[in-house]
Amino acid sequence: MTPLAMMICAAIVVSTALGVYLRLRQMATVTCNRHATPRDFAKEVTLEEHRRAADYTLARTRFSIFETVYDGILSLLWLLFWLAPLCNIIAQVTAPGLNRSVALFVAFVALAELLAMPLSLADTFWLEARFGFNRQSLPSFLADWLKAGALQLAIGAPLLYAMFALLRAAPDYWWLCAFVGFMAFIVAMMAVYPTFIAPLFNKFSPLPEDDLRQRLEALLQKCGFESRGLYVMDASTRSARGNAYFTGFGKAKRIVLFDTLLAKHTPEEIESILAHELGHFKFGHIRQMLAMAAALAFVGFAALHWALGPQGLSVVFSLPADPGLALIIAVLAKDPLMHILSPLIAWRSRRAEFEADDFAKRMVGKEPMIAALTRLTRDNLATLTPDRLYALFYYSHPPVPVRVAHLRGEA
Ligand SMILES: [Zn+2]
């Protein structure tokens, strides 16, 4: 094995160990605080609810330890044992060239999806079901899985062909063109996703005309947002969890409220949740996230320029030189790198959440936002006592006690 191949395998082992360590810390902190609801929440969250949230967090984290180890082992198995036979099989059915490269990558993704399937099933039908969240049936789960796979293939295969063709035509500059093409694709997807792709999985209907809508429209006007963009999604067909999100830009931008959210929250709380989402819009958070993605993609494609080249990753792992194969190795090798970067990305995202909370506070006051956050946490069985280091790595939103303290001006 070459030194670089050894380093990549070692990085996967270290990253898996770090993932397990952080999850063990999270479990220890949650267990330690299971006996009492944090003082600030004692009125709204009963001890029984607090303990149930702890039990759910513990079960979910334990499951995620298994998942982390499973993924780490699979990555190593692919790199060290499975890629060579996969390559042989594909070589028997395809001639060298574009077709073979694309077939290799598609076969890898399909097998990886199949191997991830048992965990995904256990997550939905065992873990989520045990705590009363799952509303999905097995046929609808499988239909989602097939639909997502078909979509991935329909969009991904032509992109792979384009990328490998570019690589052959312009070996020195292909990655710059691919980067520009990739960013154009991402922007196009952001415009297309809310209107054309998300509806393949869920029903979106305009918010019904009632007092709530009038109230929300008044808020939209105050913030300069077109009211066409307000939708309700039938999230309750899959899960009992409540949520809301802001998506797209330009004419395609919309704010999506889960029907589960509308069912459980007071109008004041929903108004504050909408105000928070509008905060993301006001501060241009989608554009900022896009800029960060662009920076990461630029570095990623520059690395691919080397990785897919003649002395690239296939050679590093002593496998036949094929850009499809090299791309698979690159995908496997990027995970430990992204893991190390995750605190940075999560930190940027948490800062955006604070800004959106501040905006909501200015628009509708802090009390409804605090009430909404407390209820969301309670109903989604989120823990109020996460481990700090764990949260630093994995929390895209600040822990709710921190958000509430921030809204109250205490932090
Ligand atoms: Zn947010």
Tell whether 48 is covered by a domain.
yes
What total number of domains does the chain contain? 1
- How much distance in Å is there from the Cα of 397 to the middle of ligand 1? 7
Tell whether 277 is covered by a domain.
no
* 49, 378 Cβ separation under 8 angstroms: yes
Task: Give the chain's end-to-end CA distance (angstroms, integer).
Answer: 51
Strand partners, 209: none
Tell whether 140 is covered by a domain.
yes
- Distance from C-alpha of 372 to C-alpha of 362, rounded to nearest angstrom: 16
Q: Which of 365, 358, 382, 375 is nearest to 276 (CA)?
A: 358
Tell whether 55 is covered by a domain.
yes
Q: Which of 244, 249, 242, 233 is nearest to 281 (CA)?
A: 249
pLDDT tens column, 4-63: 999 999 999 999 999 999 999 999 999 999 999 999 899 999 999 999 999 999 999 999
Q: Name the band, by pLDDT with cuts 50, 70 and 90, for residue 246.
A: confident
277 is catalytic: yes
pLDDT reading at 191 higher than 90: no
- How much distance in Å is there from the Cα of 100 to the middle of ligand 1? 43
Query: Is the Cα torsion angle 42, 47, 49, 52 positive or negative in sign?
Result: positive
Which is the catalytic residue, given 71, 271, 322, 357?
A: 357
Which is the catalytic residue, given 277, 322, 353, 387?
A: 277
pLDDT reading at 229 higher than 90: no
> Hey, what amino acid is at 264?
K
> Hey, what amino acid is at 343?
P
- How much distance in Å is there from the Cα of 356 to the middle of ligand 1? 6
Q: Name the band, by pLDDT with cuts 50, 70 and 90, for residue 254.
A: confident
- Distance from C-alpha of 110 to C-alpha of 97, rounded to nearest angstrom: 20
204 phi, psi to nearest 5 deg: -120, 125
Containing 205, the helix (H) or strand (E) segment is strand 204-206
Tell me the residue range of the domain where 51 lies: 3-200+283-407
What is the reported pTM? 0.91
- Distance from C-alpha of 302 to C-alpha of 228, rounded to nearest angstrom: 41
Tell whether 184 is covered by a domain.
yes
Containing 257, the helix (H) or strand (E) segment is strand 254-258
| 139 Cβ neighbours under 8 A, 6+ residues apart | none
Q: Name the band, by pLDDT with cuts 50, 70 and 90, for residue 227.
A: low
* 292, 274 Cβ separation under 8 angstroms: no
pLDDT tens column, 148-180: 999 999 999 999 999 999 999 999 999 999 999
357 is catalytic: yes
- Distance from C-alpha of 14 to C-alpha of 8, rounded to nearest angstrom: 10
- How much distance in Å is there from the Cα of 172 to the middle of ligand 1? 41
Tell whether 225 is covered by a domain.
no
Tell whether 218 is covered by a domain.
no
Tell whether 266 is covered by a domain.
no
**Per-residue confidence (pLDDT) for residue 230, from 0 to 100:** 87
- Distance from C-alpha of 293 to C-alpha of 300, rounded to nearest angstrom: 10
